[in-house]
Structure 1
Amino acid sequence: MTEDRIRRFDEPRPVEVLHDGEWVPAMQDGWVRWPDGDWYASVSYVLEHDWGRGRYVTSVPADEVRPVG
């Protein structure tokens, strides 16, 4: 992947991510341009499940991430 497809933050920023219809706290460390030209947020977050904690490290479309505050 080339630098024109990745925009990293110096420090991750707190955001909320849409997960199964609910906004959950997450950290965003940058933006990634997918091959179709759309920008996706690079995020990570942890959720509690009945089987234990699940850590998510993924990218989500821009309309599924919002800044906190």
Structure 2
Amino acid sequence: MIKYKYHITGINLAGKQFESECIDYDLIYAVQKYRKLVYSIDTAVKKEQVQHDAKVGIVDMQILKPQ
């Protein structure tokens, strides 16, 4: 299977920026791991971008080259 590397950035409830990276086989599974942040998994998969509640901010998910 192909491993993808996901780079996630966003703003947490405290208003601070955060960054996270994970390596996983499956986009949907990776998004679900961050389900506390995710507003719409469908949007994330179609646009390769994760959106979440306005209170929390917007998270960008970049799918980097397969490992």
TM-score scaled by length of structure 1:
0.32
Larger strand share, 1 or 2: 1
Q: Which has the larger radius of gyration?
A: 1
Larger helix share, 1 or 2: 2
Question: Which structure ranks higher in relative contact order (CA pairs < 8 Å, sequence separation ≥ 6)?
Answer: 2
TM-score scaled by length of structure 2:
0.33
